Every structure is written in structure tokens, then in C-alpha cells.
Amino acid sequence: MATTALTLPETEYMLPGNRACAGCGLGIAFRHITKALDGKCIFVVPASCLTVLGGMYPTSSVTVPIMNCAFPSTAASASGVAAGLKVLGREDTTVVAMAGDGGTADIGIQALSGAAERNANILYICYDNEGYMNTGTQRSGSTPLGAKTTTSPALGKCEFPKDVPAILEAHHIPYVATASPSYPGDLYDKVKKAKDLRGTRYMHLNAPCPSGWQFAPKDTVELGRLAVETGVFLLYEIEDGVFRLTSRSRALAKQGALKPVREFLELQGRFSSAADAAIDAVQEWVNQRWKRAIERHAE
Ligand SMILES: Cc1ncc(C[n+]2csc(CCOP(=O)(O)OP(=O)(O)O)c2C)c(N)n1
Ligand code: SF4
């Protein structure tokens, strides 16, 4: 049976209080990820908001080990930790490489591709807050078209974001999934499933970021829901090559009605100067992706 917010386990691996901004979507997701891993995990993390959330040695806001690594090496470093655990006969500990979209889609993609091609025994999670947020909101390969950042000022970014899960799918790894902190049961179930698989597993998380996207911290969960309700972010999994929409995206595929993307974009200051043509282009991009997802969806 699918897990819901009411049936999530009560054990916590995050201590009260951390250095992330109020309303940080990454923080909510990290809480549910550690629950799904039963705290039996080692995180390998490059410079990012997650290093800030984790805290600076010798203090920490979490009760699981986090190893910091060089920016481009996340997947390679995690592969090494997994190889070490294998030698020690401790393969029941999940090695999680976890990085932002800058650290994944841009800086770490070479090491990630290498690890996936070798089918290294790691779970790689990209939390996608759609920019280099820890250093004050610079544009990344995952920033959406029309979004203002400090390096795409005025009218916003002119390019569409990279489809990183599709790049990972092309490596023929056992498991690729997307998830959102606004759908914690779906997120929890996917991490649990990934935990019990072997080889390279890739998860792409939508991580609403009040500071970089410019919305009120109280609206994080609502923003994550609207990303899914408008089809800007799709919830799905690809298991041994079989694609399935999950959770709310699956229900929307049956009902056949997405909300207009404008309802999601207009709540965020970063789109305040986006031209109508840019919003129309995003809507068309969503329509095409949604059509392809429905065609691929296997019941
Ligand atoms: C080699 C190196 N280059 C640059 C930096 C500065 N830096 C620290 S965090 C960060 C942004 C990372 O962006 P992303 O991976 O998207 O994670 P987020 O900050 O959004 O959580 C940068 C550029 C660094 N620490 N090390
Ligand atoms: S900048 Fe965004 S992702 Fe980073 S801690 Fe703040 S809310 Fe979270």
C-alpha cells in the first residue's frame, strides 16, 4: 500500500533546527529521504545548500554521516565509498550521492555518467532548486526558461532546462525516478524501492526554494504541488526501462486536465519580468512533455 503523510514513520534523523532558509524544500525532502533509508546510509555531498543544512564540523543537524567531497567528484567519491563498504561486507548501508542541480547537471555530470556507465552501487539524488542557490542564485543548466537569476537578469534565462533524468535513462541503469517534497508518501516509497535495488539508481527531486524563486516560505508545499498540477514537474519512475507516471501525475493523466503554467509562474518573483512569449513557450514545452509521458505510461 502506498505511504501517505499520515503513515510515514515517526523516527527522525534530522535534529530540530538547521541552517537552511525557512521553508526550504530540500530540508523537507531530506527529512523523508533519511526516514526511508532507516538512517542506515552514508551521504556524499559536494558544496551546496545541503552542506549548509548538514552543518559544519564538529556540529551537525543530522544523525547520519555526511562526507563532503570535491565539487565535480560526487558520484566518483560515492563509488569509492561503496567499494570500500563492499570490502568490509557492509553492503546493507546505502551510499547516497546527493547534490544540487549545479553540482549534477553541470559540474558533476562527467563523474555521474561514468558511475552510471559502470553501474556503480550508489543511489544518486539530485535536488533541483533550479540554480546555484547557495552562492546567491546563479543560472544553472537546470534553470527554467524565463527565470531571472543574477546571471540571467532582465528578461530571464533564454534556454530550456536540461532533462537530466532522460540523460540517466540513456545509461540503462536499473532505476530512474522523480519526486517532490510536496508528495512525501511518493518520495518515501521511491527512496525505499531504490534502497532495495543494486547498481546505480538516480532520483531527481523538485526542490522549491523560497529565496531563489522568490516566494513566501509558508508556500513551499503549495508551490511543489502546483509544479505537478501544471505539469511543469512530472512524477514518474522508470524501472528496468518501463516508464510509469506515479502519484498525482498518474491521477492527472486519468483526469486529463493540467492547470495552466501561468498559475505556477505568477507566484514566483523570478518570473515577474518574463514576457508573454516566454510563458507561452513554457506552456508549449509542458504540453509536449505531457503528451509524450502519457504515450509512454504503462499501467
Ligand atoms: C570548486 C568550487 N567551485 C565553486 C564553489 C562555490 N560554490 C559553493 S556552493 C555553490 C553552488 C552550488 O549549486 P548547486 O549544486 O546547484 O547547489 P545549491 O547551492 O543550489 O544547493 C558554489 C558555486 C566551491 N565551493 N567549490
Ligand atoms: S537558498 Fe533555497 S535551497 Fe538553499 S537553503 Fe535557502 S531555500 Fe533552501
For 84-101, the pLDDT digits (tens) are: 999 999 999 999 999 999
Instruction: Tell me whether residue 165 is in a domain.
Output: yes
**Residue 1, pLDDT score:** 85
**Residue 256, pLDDT score:** 75
Residue 63 belongs to domain with CATH number: 3.40.50.970
- The stretch 247-254 carries a mean pLDDT of 96
| For ligand 1, mutation pick of 109, 112, 124, 135 (most atoms within 8 Å of CB) | 135
Instruction: Tell me whether residue 6 is in a domain.
Output: no
User: Distance from the CA of 117 to the center of ligand 2, in angstroms?
Assistant: 31
Instruction: Band the pLDDT of 111: cuts 50, 70, 90.
Output: very high
- The stretch 171-195 carries a mean pLDDT of 98
By residue range, what is the domain housing residue 289? 25-296
**Residue 175, pLDDT score:** 98
Instruction: Tell me whether residue 16 is in a domain.
Output: no
Instruction: Tell me whether residue 51 is in a domain.
Output: yes
Nearest CA to ligand 1 atom 9: 48
Does 211 sit in the ligand 2 pocket, CB within 6 Å? yes
Instruction: Tell me whether residue 2 is in a domain.
Output: no
**Residue 66, pLDDT score:** 96
- The stretch 230-255 carries a mean pLDDT of 96
Instruction: Tell me whether residue 125 is in a domain.
Output: yes
**Residue 154, pLDDT score:** 87
Give the chain's domain count: 1
Instruction: Report percent pLDDT > 70 for the chain.
Output: 100
Pairwise CA distance, residues 64 & 133, whole Å: 24
Instruction: Tell me whether residue 4 is in a domain.
Output: no
Nearest CA to ligand 1 atom 8: 47
pLDDT at 56 over 80: yes
Mean pLDDT taken over the chain = 97
- The stretch 257-279 carries a mean pLDDT of 97
| For ligand 2, mutation pick of 49, 50, 128, 138 (most atoms within 8 Å of CB) | 49
Instruction: Tell me whether residue 13 is in a domain.
Output: no
**Residue 125, pLDDT score:** 99
pTM: 0.98
- The stretch 193-197 carries a mean pLDDT of 98
**Residue 22, pLDDT score:** 97
pLDDT at 9 over 90: yes
- The stretch 146-163 carries a mean pLDDT of 96
